[in-house]
Amino acid sequence: MNTNWSALKNSVSSALLDAIEEFGFTEMTPVQAACIPQMLNYKDVVAEAVTGSGKTVAFLVPMLQIMLRREGTWNKHQVGGVVIAPTRELANQISKVLEKFLLHVPKLSRLLFIGGTSVDEDLDNFEKKGGNIIIVTPGRFHDLLLRHEGSLLKAALKHMEVLILDEADCLLSMGFEKVLNAILQMLPKQRRTGLFSATQTTEVTKLIRAGLRNPVSVVVVDKSQKGRVPGSLDNNYCILEPKLKFHVLLNFIKKHKKKKILLFFATCACVDYFAYVLKKLVKNVAVSSIHGKMKEKGRVAIFDKFRESEAGILCCTDVMARGIDITKKIHWVVQFDPPSNPAAFIHRSGRTARNGEEGWALIMLQPHEQDYVAFMEVSQKVKINEMDMTEFINTEKLPEDLKSIHKLQIEDKAIYEKAVRSFVSYYKAYSRYDCNLILRLKDLDLGSIATCYGLLKFPKMSELKAQKPDNFSEVDIDVNLIEYKDKQKELSRKRKLEVYQSTGTWPDRNRKLKKSITTESSWSIAKDKRTKKQNKKAKREAHQNKGLSDAEVLSMEKAFSQEAELC
């Protein structure tokens, strides 16, 4: 197979080849060499390739070339290409790559629909600016198509030539099967479709049958590939007592100050808390954070800054695990906790060792999680090597690190509250892990984990029935007396403290306690009730969604809720 870009000079325009040269690409990757000719021959393509293999260029080049073949010019309100991506970050990244191509093809334009604005604003934006290629997330595209049938966008899609489903396995694992099928039914049948994925699942196969016509299957396997991860990736794990995990992480980061590290945590609350602590305890290192609960504008700015940086730490949730390609290479991917599902491990690790470059990954496991390593080797065909962390353990300095974390909480009650929220959210997230036969909630050493989080007091949780672990030492302090740095919060705290000192009861606490006792519900039961309520609401709205049955509307609502990650 000829992998030189010059091999396409007769089938790809010189403008696109100039863009490729500007990117600095001299050779096609295997997935590009296999997919581009097939799509240029108007074939539907299903491509399975390891993460970091160049899938974005593999579908953008043929999409643009097919659109350039059309006689005449594209009206700004004629959409010729659609790319559906599972996350906003990935959609943004694809848009930026496309932007560089369009500098060489000025007659075509692009538009991004990923939420963060109202649907009406998006439609107004399309009417004013137009866009020949639109990049979308499925939830927003579903809204634009099915809830606004009379819009100009719906008519514009009649001209569509190419549809791309990127990271299809992720789209389906997030619960978008019904939504995607509904979208496919709304799009022109005479189109070329490309489906790109890192893994093939039963759900992906069903989607292929529903949305593609006699597709060419492309499976790219690198001879140096280690199972489902690149051959240039050095994948490691370590087994640590929970109380040592943050201490080891701190020392690990201090040793790798000049490296670029992507640091994964289990929940949004954990990201917020540990990012703050790392900023305070690690000097001369840029620490930033990103997760699904942040506002779109802030997420984009943080991501772009980290993307171009030479070194630093980005604390994140799995919102950064899929398809994200960083301009300046990531040296280390560190997973402070295992991901909620096995496939996410592959995608987390895959943020490094991209495009043939070396990369390192480390997952930090607790003693009861050791079987996770063997499980990943069998289920995901991934070999993980044990890493000696002795050099990062200093038991004499451990109490000093703990005091530093305690001090941050004592100086500002908002940080104390962040610590408690992060611990509780981690406990809840752990209860929902897919690998619950290995990662069992009952095996958690909660006292040691509370020490790792640097908690001042052990949280009161209905699931634990007021039990406190014996191996956790609380700090002798009245947390009601801790002051907020924020003036408004501090003023409110003082007012409540006055009530507490005169009545012996903290304001609002009795009401919350009464509600808890009356309902006798734990957080999981409360969540079930909220879900049922949402389902009833979805049924009521079913008749307002033309063309959808009750079951489809319920599926749609489920998909929208799953698009927001576990926090």
| Closest alpha carbon to 43 in 59, 19, 29 | 59
| Distance between CA atoms of residues 428 and 213, nearest Å | 43
Name beta bridge partners: 333: 262, 361
| Closest alpha carbon to 82 in 104, 101, 63, 56 | 63
3-state secondary structure of 251: helix
**Residue 503 corresponds to which amino acid?**
T
19 sits in which H/E element: helix 14-23
| Distance between CA atoms of residues 162 and 159, nearest Å | 10
- The half-sphere exposure of 496 on its side-chain side, counting CA atoms within 13 A, is 15
Residues 6+ apart with CB under 8 A from 83: 59, 63, 91, 94, 133, 134, 135, 136, 164, 166
What is the predicted pLDDT for the residue at 557? 43
What is the predicted pLDDT for the residue at 210? 85
Structure-block tokens of residue 366: 């607790």
First to last CA, the chain: 46
3-state secondary structure of 466: coil
CA distances from 359 to 51, 268, 350 (A): 13, 26, 9
- The C-alpha angle with vertex 90 and arms to 428 and 286, in degrees rounded to 5, equals 70
Name beta bridge partners: 165: 84, 195
**315 φ, ψ to 5°?**
-85, 135
User: How does pLDDT run along the chain (567 residues), one tens digit per residue?
Assistant: 788 999 999 999 999 999 999 998 889 999 999 999 999 999 999 999 876 778 999 999 999 999 999 988 999 999 999 999 998 889 999 999 999 999 999 999 999 999 888 898 999 999 999 999 999 999 999 999 876 667 899 999 999 999 999 999 888 878 889 999 999 999 999 999 999 987 777 788 889 988 999 999 998 876 655 566 777 899 999 999 999 999 999 999 999 999 999 999 999 999 999 999 999 999 999 999 999 888 877 888 898 899 889 999 999 998 887 667 665 789 999 999 999 888 889 889 988 987 778 999 999 999 999 999 999 999 888 999 999 999 999 999 999 999 999 999 999 999 999 999 999 999 999 999 988 999 999 999 999 999 999 999 999 888 887 778 999 999 999 999 999 999 999 999 999 999 988 888 888 655 544 444 344 445 555 656 666 676 666 555 544 444 444 444 444 444 434 434 445
| Distance between CA atoms of residues 38 and 312, nearest Å | 40
Is the pTM above the cut of 0.85?
no
3-state secondary structure of 253: helix
Q: Phi/psi class of residue 356: alpha, beta or left (left: φ > 0; alpha: ψ in -120 to 50)?
A: left
